C-alpha cells in the first residue's frame, strides 16, 4: 500500500514523456501559489528544511513572515483569516514545532477560522521509531482540526493541498493540517498541472435549503409579538450583513450579537440592542426570557450566551439557523431548524416575512439598557476621582476611530470591556478568541490582521497577563515594521480570575497578582515607540498619538487594580439573573 490507500491508475502512453522533474517541496509551494496564497507565517526547522530551501526561490511570489514562536504563527494566520476571509497559512517543523500549533488549532476549530498548516515530519522510514523531533502529529491534532493528513510521497502533496484548502474554506470553516515527511519533500516527481478540489465524495458542506422550514419560521415570525434575533459569526462567515440589515429593517426585530458576531450588524442602528451573554448588555440578557420567538442565526447557543440552559428562553419558540447540522438541537431544542448558510436562509426568509414594527418591544430593551447605563456605564465612563477605568479607555478608542478600526482583543476583563464599549460598525473588524479564550492571542493575531489589510487601522487591546504570553512577537513586528498599535491595560492582576475570586471565593486571590516588568522598556528594546499613561489627562493625547503614528506603537494604560466588569451572568445562573453590581453577602 502507498502513503495513502488509493487505487493505482494506469497512465496513457502519451503522458509517458520526459517531463520536467521538481521536488515535493516545490510542488507544495506551487500548489499554494495556485491557491492564491501570498503570505505564510512560519518558523523553520530540520524536518521542513527542504521546503524552506525551495521557498528561497519563491520570494517574489510568497511572503514568508518569520515569527518568534509557532503559536505566534498560527495566531497570526488566524488574525489574517478573520479580517480577510482568506485562509491563513502556517509552516512549522516536526516535533515541538508542530505541537506548538495545537493551541492555535483548537482555537481556530472552535471559532471556525480557515487555516492550512503544513508541518515537516521525519523521513517516512523513521515514523514510529521515536526519532529526533518525531511526534505523532496526525493523532495529536485529530481532535483539534477539521481534517488532517500525513503525506509520505511527493505525488500525494498536490492533491492533499487541494483537498485541504477545499475543506478549510467550505461549509463551517476550520483548520486543517498536512504533515509531510522529509523524503516526500525531497522526492523528485514530474511537474503536472495543479487541480483545485471541487468536491470530496464523503463531505457535503453546502446544505440544501428546506423551504418548508423557511415557511414555518416565517409563520412564527409574522405572528410574533416579541420576536428577538441573536446573530453570531455565521453571518460574517456567510457575508450576510446586507441581507441581515434588509431582513431586520423589514421585520422590525430587535437584534443582539454574540461575541464573535460583533460587527455583523451596525452598533449604531436603532434595532441593535447590544451584546449578549455572560458580560453582555442588560437588556439583551433579561429579554431573552421575555421574548415569544427567539431566532438564533449563525450562532451555536454557547454556554457563555445561555447561562443555565434549563432556564433559557423556555417560554419562546426557537428558530435555529446554522450551517453546521451538529449544532442544531445540540444545546437548545429548536422548534424550527433551518440547516443552511445564513445568507441563503435570510434571502429566502425575507420573501416570506411581512413588514412589521415592534416599537414597544424594542423600547423595552432600551429601557433596560438605560438601567445598565445608570448603574454601570455612567460610573465606568464618568468617575474623575477614580483610577482609570478600562471602559473609559475603550470608549475613547471607539470615539477616536469612529468604531471602524479593526480591534483585536486578548482574553479577560479587557476583552469583555472592549466588546461592551467599542461600537463596531463593520464586518470583520472584531477579532478575538471566543470559544477557546486563548490568552496571548491578540498580539500575533493583530500583526496577522495588519498584514492582511494594511490600509486599515489595527489596534490590539491586551491585558498585562495575556501580553506576556506572546510578547516575543514584538520581534516579528519589529523585523517587518508592521505598523500595528498595541494597548496594554495593566491592572497587575489576572483580572477576570481575580474578579471571580472576589465574587465567588471571598477574595481569596490565589495566584492572580502579577509583578510586571517595565513594559515601556520592553517595547523600546524592540524599537517600538511607547508611552505609559497613569493620569486621566494623558489618556486621550496618548490615544491620538498612537493612532497618528505610521510605525508600530505601544501604549500601556495603568487601570484600576480591582475593578470589575459588569453586568455579569454568573456561571450556571439564568440570564434573567444578570448582575449589575456585586451580590450583597448574606447577613
Partner 1 sequence: MKQEFTLEIVSDNNFSILNRIVNVLNRRRVRIKKLIAHENHDDFTRGSAILLVYTTADLMEKVKHQLEKLIEVEHANYYEGNAQYYALNEKNNRQVA
Active site residues: 70, 132-133, 182, 496
Q: Give min distance, CB of 488 to partner 1, in A.
A: 36
Q: Tell me the closest approach of the beta carbon of residue 142 to partner 1, in angstroms.
A: 6
155 counts as binding partner 1 under rule CB under 8 A: no
Residue whose C-alpha is closest to residue 387's, from 229, 516, 557, 528 = 557
In the complex with partner 1, the residue whose CB is nearer, 168 or 416, is: 168
Our finding on whether 126 is near partner 1 (CB under 8 A) is no
Q: Which is nearer to partner 1, 100 or 150 (CB)?
A: 150
How many Å apart are CA 571 and CA 328, to the nearest integer? 23
Q: How far is the CB of 129 from partner 1 (least distance, A)?
A: 17
Stretch that binds partner 1, among 4-12, 342-350, 374-382, 477-485 (CB under 8 A): 4-12
Whole-angstrom CA distances from 167 to 54, 170, 260, 430, 433 are 26, 6, 22, 24, 22
- 317/185 Cα distance (integer angstroms): 55
What SS3 class is residue 297? strand
- The answer to whether 184 and 123 have CB atoms below 8 angstroms apart is no
**Interaction between residue 146 and partner 1 (CB under 8 A):** yes
Q: Does 20 engage in binding with partner 1 (CB under 8 A)? A: no
Member of 167, 236, 264, 273 binding partner 1 (CB under 8 A): 167
Among 21, 57, 129, 139, binds partner 1 (CB under 8 A): 139
Interface residue with partner 1, options 19, 96, 125, 143 (CB under 8 A): 143
Tell me if 536 contacts partner 1 by CB under 8 A.
no
The three cell numbers of residue 132 are 529526533
* Close Cβ partners of 7 (under 8 Å, ≥ 6 residues apart): none
Listed ranges 136-144, 188-196, 468-476, 558-566: which one lies at the site for partner 1 (CB under 8 A):
136-144
Of 157, 124, 127, 131, nearest in space to 139 by CA: 127
Among 154, 52, 157, 161, smallest CA distance to 97 is for: 52
Strand 63-66: give its sheet, edge to edge. 63-66, 39-42, 88-92, 115-121, 175-181, 147-151
Interaction between residue 147 and partner 1 (CB under 8 A): yes
Number of residues that bind partner 1 (CB under 8 A): 22
* Pattern 194-213, partner 1, x by CB under 8 A: ------xxxx----------
- Minimal distance, residue 545 CB to partner 1, in Å: 48
Instruction: Tell me the closest approach of the beta carbon of residue 4 to partner 1, in angstroms.
Output: 6
Phi, psi angle pair for 474, to nearest 5°? -60, -30
Return the residues of window 283-342 that contact partner 1 according to CB under 8 A: 324-326, 328-330
HEC sequence for 397-447: HHHHHCCCCEEEECCCHHHHHHHHHCCCCCCCCEECCCCCCCCCCHHHHHH
Least spacing, CB of residue 521 vs partner 1, in Å = 45
71 versus 121: smaller Cβ distance to partner 1? 121
Tell the smallest beta-carbon distance from residue 237 to partner 1 (Å): 16
User: 202 or 586: whose CB is closer to partner 1?
Assistant: 202
Contact range with partner 1 by CB under 8 A, out of 144-152, 482-490, 531-539, 561-569:
144-152
Under rule CB under 8 A, residue 150 binds partner 1: yes
Closest CA to 546 of 531, 558, 561: 531
What span, in angstroms and rounded, lies between the C-alpha atoms of 423 and 55? Answer: 42
Angle at 477 between CA 541 and CA 416, to 5 degrees: 60
Which of 138, 371 has the CB closer to partner 1? Answer: 138
Tell me how far apart the alpha carbons of residues 546 and 485 are, in angstroms, rounded to a whole number: 7
| Contact footprint for partner 1 (CB under 8 A) | 4-7, 138-139, 142-143, 146-147, 150, 167, 200-203, 324-326, 328-330
Amino acid at each position: 500500500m502507498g502513503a495513502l490507500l488509493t487505487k493505482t491508475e494506469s497512465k496513457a502512453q502519451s503522458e509517458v514523456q520526459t517531463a520536467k522533474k521538481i521536488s515535493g517541496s516545490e510542488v507544495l509551494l506551487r500548489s499554494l501559489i495556485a491557491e492564491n496564497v501570498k503570505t505564510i507565517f512560519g518558523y523553520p526547522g530540520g524536518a521542513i528544511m527542504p521546503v524552506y530551501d525551495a521557498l528561497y526561490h519563491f520570494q517574489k511570489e510568497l511572503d514568508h513572515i518569520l515569527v518568534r514562536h509557532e503559536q505566534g504563527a498560527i495566531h497570526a494566520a488566524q488574525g489574517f483569516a478573520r479580517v480577510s476571509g482568506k485562509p491563513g497559512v502556517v509552516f512549522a517543523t516536526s516535533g515541538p514545532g508542530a505541537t506548538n500549533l495545537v493551541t492555535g488549532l483548537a482555537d481556530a476549530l472552535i471559532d471556525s477560522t480557515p487555516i492550512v498548516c503544513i508541518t515537516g515530519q521525519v523521513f517516512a522510514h523513521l515514523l514510529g521509531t521515536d526519532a529526533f523531533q518525531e511526534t505523532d502529529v496526525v493523532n495529536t491534532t485529530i481532535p483539534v482540526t477539521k481534517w488532517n493528513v500525513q503525506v509520505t510521497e511527493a505525488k500525494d502533496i498536490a492533491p492533499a493541498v487541494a483537498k485541504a484548502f477545499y475543506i478549510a474554506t467550505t461549509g463551517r470553516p476550520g483548520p486543517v493540517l498536512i504533515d509531510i515527511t522529509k523524503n516526500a519533500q525531497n522526492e523528485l516527481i514530474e511537474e503536472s498541472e495543479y487541480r483545485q478540489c471541487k468536491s470530496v465524495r464523503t463531505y457535503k458542506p453546502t446544505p440544501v435549503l428546506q423551504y418548508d422550514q423557511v415557511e414555518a419560521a416565517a409563520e412564527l415570525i409574522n405572528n410574533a409579538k416579541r420576536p428577538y434575533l441573536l446573530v453570531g459569526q455565521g453571518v460574517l462567515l456567510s457575508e450576510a450583513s446586507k441581507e441581515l440589515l434588509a431582513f431586520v429593517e423589514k421585520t422590525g426585530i430587535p437584534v443582539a450579537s454574540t461575541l464573535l458576531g460583533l460587527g455583523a450588524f451596525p452598533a449604531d442602528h436603532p434595532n441593535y440592542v447590544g451584546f449578549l451573554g455572560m458580560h453582555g448588555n442588560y437588556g439583551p440578557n433579561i429579554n431573552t426570557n421575555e421574548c415569544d420567538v427567539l431566532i438564533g442565526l449563525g450562532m451555536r447557543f454557547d454556554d457563555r450566551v445561555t447561562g443555565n440552559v434549563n432556564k433559557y428562553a423556555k417560554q419562546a419558540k426557537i428558530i435555529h439557523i446554522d450551517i453546521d447540522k451538529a449544532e442544531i438541537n445540540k444545546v437548545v431544542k429548536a422548534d424550527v431548524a433551518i440547516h443552511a448558510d445564513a445568507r441563503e436562509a435570510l434571502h429566502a426568509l425575507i420573501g416570506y416575512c411581512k413588514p412589521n414594527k415592534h416599537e414597544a418591544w424594542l423600547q423595552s430593551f432600551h429601557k433596560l439598557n438605560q438601567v445598565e447605563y445608570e448603574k454601570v456605564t455612567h460610573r465606568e465612563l464618568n468617575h474623575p476621582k477614580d483610577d482609570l477605568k478600562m471602559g473609559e479607555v475603550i470608549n475613547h478608542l471607539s470615539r477616536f476611530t469612529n468604531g471602524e478600526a479593526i480591534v483585536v482583543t486578548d482574553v479577560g476583563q479587557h476583552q469583555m470591556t472592549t466588546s461592551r464599549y467599542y461600537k463596531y460598525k463593520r464586518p470583520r473588524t472584531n477579532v478575538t478568541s471566543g470559544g477557546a479564550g486563548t490568552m496571548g492571542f491578540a498580539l500575533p493575531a493583530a500583526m496577522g490582521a495588519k498584514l492582511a489589510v494594511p490600509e486599515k487601522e489595527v489596534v490590539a487591546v491586551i491585558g498585562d497577563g495575556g501580553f506576556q504570553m506572546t510578547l516575543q512577537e514584538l520581534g516579528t513586528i519589529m523585523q517587518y515594521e508592521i505598523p500595528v498599535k498595541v494597548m496594554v491595560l495593566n491592572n497587575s492582576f489576572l483580572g477576570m480570575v481575580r474578579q471571580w475570586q472576589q465574587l465567588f471565593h471571598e477574595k481569596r486571590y490565589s495566584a492572580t497578582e502579577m509583578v510586571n516588568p517595565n513594559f515601556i522598556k520592553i517595547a523600546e528594546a524592540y524599537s517600538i515607540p511607547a508611552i505609559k499613561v497613569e493620569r486621566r489627562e494623558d489618556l486621550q493625547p496618548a490615544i491620538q498619538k498612537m493612532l497618528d503614528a505610521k510605525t508600530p506603537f505601544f501604549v500601556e494604560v495603568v487601570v484600576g487594580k480591582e475593578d470589575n466588569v459588569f453586568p455579569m451572568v454568573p456561571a450556571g445562573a439564568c440570564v434573567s439573573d444578570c448582575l449589575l453590581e456585586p451580590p450583597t453577602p448574606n447577613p
